[in-house]
Structure 1
């Protein structure tokens, strides 16, 4: 059951998550890392596992950077090193260059979800923004690449929110303030239950879970949609 028909009155602004919500990060990252391993270790016997392994490493290593334990570049080196160790692939002599190779393959796959542009357009008149845990320059580049720059409002990451990343309450209150609104006037829509759905509740911000696969039960008390096409009717 989706959230269509469940009214959300009093919403004056909408914050979108980026990766997995407006932008197909998983599809791009999966294709890029499989291509990278194929190029560096042709015919690897575990190639079918590579995308899942890379995805599993992503959260923990990004968390190290977000917590200030290492630089963004260092977490990339550590993640690539961990993948090579797991696959018994020789570690590249220059991890920065190796990651740059992956990153270029990743950029070549950048695309918006088919429902993103229309969903943004249908929210004309509301304050809009993007609240994402990625690196500021990278996330801004993604928004430009998928044609939403100037349409979806400011791109807000922990780097411009005082070091506060989702699910820190300060990330949500800071993002609402960037839209000139109180948290309770803002709706956050995203695909990550902890960061985008339950996390904002502590600040009074409302949220909608975007469950594109439509196979899981929504967290209690939170509406769910399976497409961004359902978002505008929910608010209007």
Structure 2
């Protein structure tokens, strides 16, 4: 029986993609007005997120270094002059990004229907930034504790230890916890090895999910899945 529900943050509760795409577009425009590949900027920046974040999660570089690498690789791809101060350059992007933080329209309402469940947010971002996001988008009173690798012993999704530690943070075994998220590896198939169940949030409705895992296209569909049958 499910007693706890963990939510991914970026792409699940917070519209990360729109905020990041808008931010990197503004960042490029400031440095290279009229750049011929401006329309590709969002997709290029998104493609750099996962490998560089993975390097940080694996301990191959610091958080700040992975940000520098992303900016450097992004500028090289677009033939934009690489900034002398990569930290300041990333900070400029981050400021634009913060301005775009908004919750998906279905997030608050869905959380409000889950009275009686222990809730939490399981995310691969940094503790300070992810907590700030939850506050800014107005979900701090609803979503439960924000759980990142920084408070879970240095483990990140999709490591099995991350899911068991997150369940323990809710005071529950993995078998009594459901994870809801938009990333197939991190939020859907990853938890299964621990006995944790999951629901794939496929907001774009582009393709079928892996067999055996429930799929929803909006968070409003979550509560009906949890009703006794």
Q: TM-score, normalised by structure 2?
A: 0.98
**Structure 2, unaligned runs of 5 or more:** none
Matches within 5 A, 1:1-236: 10-236=1-227
- Deviation by residue 1:8-31 (Cα, 9 ceiling, x = unmatched): xx1101000000000011110000
**Structure 1, unaligned runs of 5 or more:** 1-9
Deviation for aligned residue 1:150: 2.6
Deviation for aligned residue 1:35: 0.5
Higher relative contact order (CA 8 A, sep 6+): 1
SS of residue matched to 2:103: coil
SS of residue matched to 2:121: strand
- Deviation by residue 1:128-157 (Cα, 9 ceiling, x = unmatched): 000000111110000000111131111001
Q: TM-score, normalised by structure 1?
A: 0.95
Q: For the aligned residues, what is the CA RMSD?
A: 0.6
Deviation for aligned residue 1:79: 0.1
Aligned length: 227
- Deviation by residue 1:96-122 (Cα, 9 ceiling, x = unmatched): 111111100000000000000001110
SS of residue matched to 2:186: helix
Q: Which runs of 4+ in 1 moved over 2 A?
A: none
